[in-house]
Amino acid sequence: MIARNPATALDGNGLARDGRPPLLRLLAMARPLRGRLLGAAAAGAAATGCGVALLAVSGFLLARASQHPSILAISVAVVAVRALSVGRGVFRYLERLASHDVAFRVLAQVRVAIWRRLEALAPNGLVLFRSGDLLARLVSDVDATQDLFIRGVTPVVAAALVGGATVAGCLLILAPAAAVLAAGLLTAALVVPLAGAAVARKAARAAAPARGRLAATVTELLDGAADLHAFGAADAALARAEVTDAELTRLDGRTAAASALGAGSMSAITGITLWAVLVLGVAATGAGTLSRVPLAVLTLTALAAFEAVSALPAAAIQLGQARVAAGRIAAVTDAPDPVIEPARPRALPPGPFAVQLRDATVVYRPGGPPALDRVSLDLPPGRRVALVGANGAGKSTVAAVLMRFRELASGAALLDGHDLAGYAADDVRSVIGGCPQDPYLFAATIRDNLRLARPAATDEELAAAAGRARLLPWIESLPQGWDTPVGARGAAVSGGERQRLALARAFLADPRLLILDEPTSHLDPTARRALTTDLLHATEGRSVLLITHELDGLDQVDEIVVLDHGRIAEQGPHQQLRRAGGRYQRLCEHGY
């Protein structure tokens, strides 16, 4: 649970789809912090204003000092120079502090919102995303959006306020020069940033996806390094990564070229404007309408005024990148829900309950063949049912429906006689759970991996769960015992130990209906038979749905349901199906 300060809590739903552009949705998340954001803009304007005033007062001081006045005549200017020098640094610090504080607070909330969305989408809602690309969206793209607050608000406000004030001040000295300065500032503040952003727009649109592809490619290279080396495919995979990297380098080069164009154009406009102001000022001085001291002030003020707009070309390019990054974030947060949560969830029943499927039909894509076709299944309390069939028969889809990872196209899934969709998905998963087909072990200790199922579990409860999975003697034989690291994805333990750890984790969670999806996959026949025997012994008297295409030990379950292309081909106890002359008998005699 993330603690929030009531005074500064952000709108966690700010990324919800509402028709606004993604960048505006991010900006709306800073609404509770608008006071800090306005403070940052004010501090930025004050810092820039101090910089302009410092150069203007310095020009006055130098020009006036050349006339050898008394020290009292320039004492105020001397003090002002010192105060403006200090003020410039102090205000810039405050601006950086406030703007980054807002940006980091919003970014933290964005990451939390993305994670909550990923949690809701997993696993079936994430099939269109590559894991490395999701990581890039969560890290790089979120980081890119901070430019909205750091460079998208403060510099624009500072440029408008300070630029306007500077032109107004110059207007009091020499009107034609003020008009030229205004034209130069407007060109530098509008034309140059828009031109730079236009040049970089195509690269900005492509760079973030390219960065995501590179992250995904590198992640897959690392995950599959052993197989790539084993099959001699490492060089080809590296070549594909190099192509992606070269594409990203090319796009970054185009962005850098746009930035250089903006910086060069800014310098040219600054120089041209300064020369024009100087020419007008010298002409006015020659005509006797302007003295030397105001000429110095006018010239140095015009030079300093461009500090207010110097950051805008780069900011425009970075905002373009932030807009693309926000769009990639929105693609995750706007992804359709794999299941629909009820508006008023029903409370879970207090005691044992039955789970049923009635003519359950699942279709993965519109117009496609059904993954499940009118499947009916009864799972009363204490009954162990085995779901068997070849790969692609629909076995794992049944598990996804029961655990609320997949919606039904038609038919019904019932819990205690009520529609399963009427319960909150998290509530359903607290009472219907188990061991997935490919369990994930984190790069942590054995204790930490088991406590994933129940963080507050005591050592005695951990030992009991490990004992039921026939894992306790092995753990106690290890030099580090429960503190033994299992490695990334469980690489430091064997396949059998990895499956038993996952099984122990399922036992520790203690769901009322335990779903075991291919618990003996990736094991050799001896280990497979041993694990099947152990888990059937450990689950005696429990409600269990055993999903498997292995037939070892199925004579110990209460009922066997044979799936074939999403339909129930036959069902009944082992002995009956073994002599029925149907698909199960053929499986027993000839295998798949």
Over residues 502-561, the pLDDT tens digits come to: 888 988 888 889 998 888 776 677 777 777 777 777 777 788 999 888 787 788 888 999
Which tokens is 540 given?
């005696």
pLDDT digits (tens, 9 = 90+) for 57-68: 998 888 888 888
> For residue 4, what pLDDT band results from cuts at 50, 70 and 90?
very low
pLDDT digits (tens, 9 = 90+) for 428-468: 988 998 888 788 888 899 999 999 888 999 999 999 989 88
Q: What is the Cα–Cα distance from 150 to 100, expressed in whole angstroms?
A: 6
Instruction: Say whether pLDDT at 7 is over 60.
Output: no
> Which stretch, 20-29, 70-79, 170-179, 526-535, has highest mean pLDDT?
170-179
What share of the chain has pLDDT > 90, as a percent? 34
Report the DSSP beta bridge partners of residue 570. 562
Mean pLDDT, residues 408-415 taken together: 92
Q: What is the Cα–Cα distance from 99 to 45, expressed in whole angstroms?
A: 13
Instruction: Say whether pLDDT at 160 is over 60.
Output: yes
Rounded (5°) CA angle 375-381-383: 70
Q: Identify whether the C-beta of residue 421 lies closer than 8 Å to the C-beta of residue 407.
A: yes
Instruction: Say whether pLDDT at 9 is over 50.
Output: no
> For residue 84, what pLDDT band results from cuts at 50, 70 and 90?
very high
Q: What is the Cα–Cα distance from 286 to 299, expressed in whole angstroms?
A: 15
Q: What is the Cα–Cα distance from 207 to 211, expressed in whole angstroms?
A: 6
Q: How far from 370 is each of 62, 91, 163, 394, CA to CA, in Å? A: 85, 65, 65, 9
- Tell me whether residue 18 is exposed, middle or buried, using C-beta atoms within 10 angstroms of its C-beta: 0 to 12, 13 to 18, 19 or more: exposed
Q: Identify whether the C-beta of residue 105 lies closer than 8 Å to the C-beta of residue 4.
A: no
Mean pLDDT of the chain, nearest integer: 86
Residue 516 or residue 14, greater confidence? 516
DSSP 124: G
For residue 369, the Cα-to-chain-centroid distance in whole angstroms is 33
- The reply to whether omega before 473 is within 30° of 0 (cis) is no
Contacts of 359 (CB under 8 A, 6+ apart): 374, 375, 376, 410, 411, 412
> Which pLDDT score, from 0 to 100, does residue 149 have?
85
pLDDT digits (tens, 9 = 90+) for 292-306: 899 999 999 999 999
Contacts of 242 (CB under 8 A, 6+ apart): none
Q: What is the Cα–Cα distance from 407 to 29, expressed in whole angstroms?
A: 32
Mean pLDDT, residues 16-26 taken together: 75
Mean pLDDT, residues 116-142 taken together: 82
> For residue 277, what pLDDT band results from cuts at 50, 70 and 90?
very high
* Number of alpha helices (DSSP H) and beta strands (DSSP E) in the chain: 22, 10
pLDDT digits (tens, 9 = 90+) for 311-341: 899 888 888 888 888 888 888 888 888 888 8
Q: Which residues of 527-543 are buried (b: 16+ CB within 10 A; e: fewer)?
A: bbebbbebbbebbeebb
Ordered by where they begin, the domains of the chain are 22-333 (1.20.1560.10), 355-590 (3.40.50.300)
Q: Identify whether the C-beta of residue 92 lies closer than 8 Å to the C-beta of residue 119.
A: no
pLDDT digits (tens, 9 = 90+) for 177-220: 999 999 999 999 999 999 888 888 888 888 888 888 888 888 88
Mean pLDDT, residues 479-489 taken together: 89
Residue 218: strand, helix, or coil: helix
Mean pLDDT, residues 407-415 taken together: 92
Instruction: Say whether pLDDT at 2 is over 50.
Output: no
Instruction: Say whether pLDDT at 283 is over 90.
Output: yes
Which amino acid is located at 553 in the chain? G
- Tell me whether residue 582 is exposed, middle or buried, using C-beta atoms within 10 angstroms of its C-beta: 0 to 12, 13 to 18, 19 or more: middle
Q: Identify whether the C-beta of residue 282 lies closer than 8 Å to the C-beta of residue 251.
A: no
Q: What is the Cα–Cα distance from 310 to 61, expressed in whole angstroms?
A: 26
For residue 280, the Cα-to-chain-centroid distance in whole angstroms is 55
> Which pLDDT score, from 0 to 100, does residue 11 have?
41
pLDDT digits (tens, 9 = 90+) for 359-370: 999 998 888 889
Sign of the C-alpha dihedral computed for residues 156, 160, 165 and 166 taken in this order? positive
Which tokens is 266 given?
């800014």
